[in-house]
Structure 1
Amino acid sequence: MAAFSCLIACGAHPVSIIKTLALAGLISATASAGFAADIAPTPPPASGWTLTVGLGPQVQTSFPGAKSVTVWPTGTMALRRPGEPEPFASPDDGFGLALFDIGWFKAGPVGRIMSSRGLSGGNGAFYGLHDVDWTLELGVYGELWYTEHFRARAEVRQGVNGHDGLDANIALDAIQKYDAFTFAIGPRLQFGDTQYMNAYFSVTPYEASVNGRVGAYQANGGLASVGGLASVKYDFLPNWSATVFGGYSRLVSSAAASPIPNNLGSLNQYTGGVVIAHSFHLDIPFLP
């Protein structure tokens, strides 16, 4: 207002006064808009979760020590916030939930199902040996990321039925992304306690007499197999992917000395399959 009074008092032309006031108003409006933009609140994070579910067929050795193969369903499941990248998961990982996650280290419960051992599916040579029911294994896992290209994972699981034993897996993976492809490869170690090893590799004197092709044998707990697994994942659509994988392991130590794989089955164990996965939005009422 003081500047306006000065313009009049100084005898400024009315047109000049109007131009001056218009310019001042424009400067004021621009400054106000810029200030408002500076203090505009950031948008809230997206709500809900993104769930990735994968399923497909897997061809694998029917059971530890067998020579036959069987088709068994396999899959994957991962839960993350919208906008977060899909975490890496190897096809031979158990179904786990990362209750503890600090980025470079994750841990939580894990589970998996093992197929049964019996005479069906071309396993008539196992006549006289005890059957092993399908097994639900429950336990815990830990996952350590040294870099974004190298992962170490360990699972320890207890069979709640079936073999009733304790087994563990250690997996190392080298991971490389290239456009829509993700390549991974790494070694595998598998361990079992005495109960687990007894279920698949021990032979009682009575079983040996009935079968006639194997002698009595007592397996011990420890390292059971050594091998590796490779996989290629292809994101063929924004929310769809396909993973092809193959793996090999060989029985060692007490498992390799058993007459079961040597006379009735095989020391070589194989796996391979395809998983098709889809990601979709999910609202979970009890999760924020």
Structure 2
Amino acid sequence: MKSTILPSLPRILLAAAALSALPFAALAQQPGQKPGDKAEKSDWEVMLGAGGLFQPDYEGSDDYEVTPLPLLMVNYRDLVFLHGPTLGANAITLQGPNPGDKLQIGPLVRYEFGRDQSDNDDLRGLGDIDGGVEIGGFISYSTGPWSADLTLFRDVSDAHDGLTAELSAGHRLSLGPKLMLRSEISTTWADDNYTQTFYGVTATQSARSGMQQYTAESGFKDAGITFDLDYRLTENWSVTGRVGYKRMLGDAADSPLVSVRGSEDQFSTGVFVSYRF
């Protein structure tokens, strides 16, 4: 196993996207603040941060790298939000009978960063996968400290022409006036266009890379769990530590890129500092 400290820009932004994946409401929740608490706040919520994440070189790799991590999250009146490379809107918001009960539905658009064969020697001969624009939508439900989300994305820029769906469930636990633990489990389904692009090996790629030719079909490609521990230094400054584990599944796990050259087990850990305006 190797590790590096100079990853490419796309992988830096991918790491930021990974840490921005949790619902904004969960990330904006301050340690010690109870769900449903009404505090005076402006129309804008902004979080800026930076840190580092130790993670695989590519999804399915057994080589790890330390990735510098920028973090940007913006929310306007709980209507429009920006989470890293993802822009969305809460088009429909339905409040439940209890404080903290909420159902939200809306559209999403994001830039999905591709994969460069120069990212890792195991990718040599497979060619680059271009980045592209994806559009989709989400359904999110929260009740008290619990939340559940379904997110769909389809590529519209001919990068992979695929469709992905992610189902996740999360929980927030206040451990004191300054400490909060967030946990989330998730799984991702992908169609055959996506899996073939990222995990398939064509005849040409096989000749160039030395890997066995492989056709990847649709199915669940991964399942994972993450834990974030937030410590509020001041009213605005916080430190967050993260540990995560993901297991590759289905045709993604059976790909020679994972089963022969990589690993089904994907670990990550990191820490970052953030400032909330």
8 Å contact kept, 2:57–2:64: yes
Question: Does the 8 A contact of 2:117 with 2:127 survive in 1?
Answer: no
Q: Is 1:62 the equivalent of 2:57?
A: yes
Question: In structure 2, what residue type is equivalent to 1:98?
Answer: N
Among 88, 92, 100, the residue aligned to 1:100: 92
Cα distance change, pair 151–46 in 1 and its aligned pair in 2 (3 A): closer
Equivalent residue in structure 1 for 2:262, among 261, 265, 280: 265
Check whether the contact 2:221–2:250 (CA below 8 A) recurs between aligned residues.
yes
**Partner residue of 2:147?**
151
Distance in 2, Cα, partners of 1:276 & 1:136 = 29
State percent identity of aligned pairs.
Answer: 23
Residue 197 of structure 1 and its aligned partner are, at CA, apart by 0.3
What is the deviation of 1:253?
1.0
SS state of the match for residue 65, structure 1? coil
Cα contact 2:85–2:111 (8 A) shared by 1 = no
Unaligned runs of 5+ in 1: 1-44, 281-288
TM-score, scaled relative to structure 2 = 0.71
After TM superposition, the structure 1 = structure 2 runs for residues 70-81 of structure 1, keeping only pairs within 5 Å, are: 70=65, 71=67, 73-79=69-75
Residue aligning to 1:204: 202
Write the distance in 2 (CA, Å) between the matches of 1:95 and 1:276: 22
- Deviation of residue 111 (structure 1)? 4.3
**Partner of residue 189, structure 1:** 187
Offset, 1:76: 4.8
> Paired residue for 1:164?
161
Q: Is the 8 A contact 1:58 1:74 kept in 2?
A: no
Partner of 1:24: none
Task: Give the distance between the partners of 1:74 and 1:136, measured in 2 at CA.
Answer: 20
| Kept in 1: contact 2:225–2:244 (CA 8 A) | yes
1:49 maps to a residue whose letter is: D
Question: Which consecutive unaligned segments of at least 5 residues does structure 2 have?
Answer: 1-38, 96-101
CA offset at residue 186 of structure 1? 2.7
Partner Cα separation in structure 2 for residue 134 and residue 149 of structure 1:
35
Correspondences of 1:1-288 after superposition (within 5 Å): 48-56=42-50, 57-70=52-65, 71=67, 73-79=69-75, 96-103=88-95, 104-121=102-119, 123-145=120-142, 147-161=143-157, 162-177=159-174, 178-212=176-210, 214-280=211-277
TM-score, with structure 1 as normaliser = 0.68
Moved more, 47-56 or 92-101: 92-101
Decide which structure has greater helix share. Answer: 1
Answer with 251-260 or 157-166: which moved more.
Answer: 157-166
Q: Which moved more, 1:200-209 or 1:94-103?
A: 94-103
Over the aligned positions, Cα root-mean-square deviation in angstroms equals 3.0
Greater radius of gyration (CA): 1
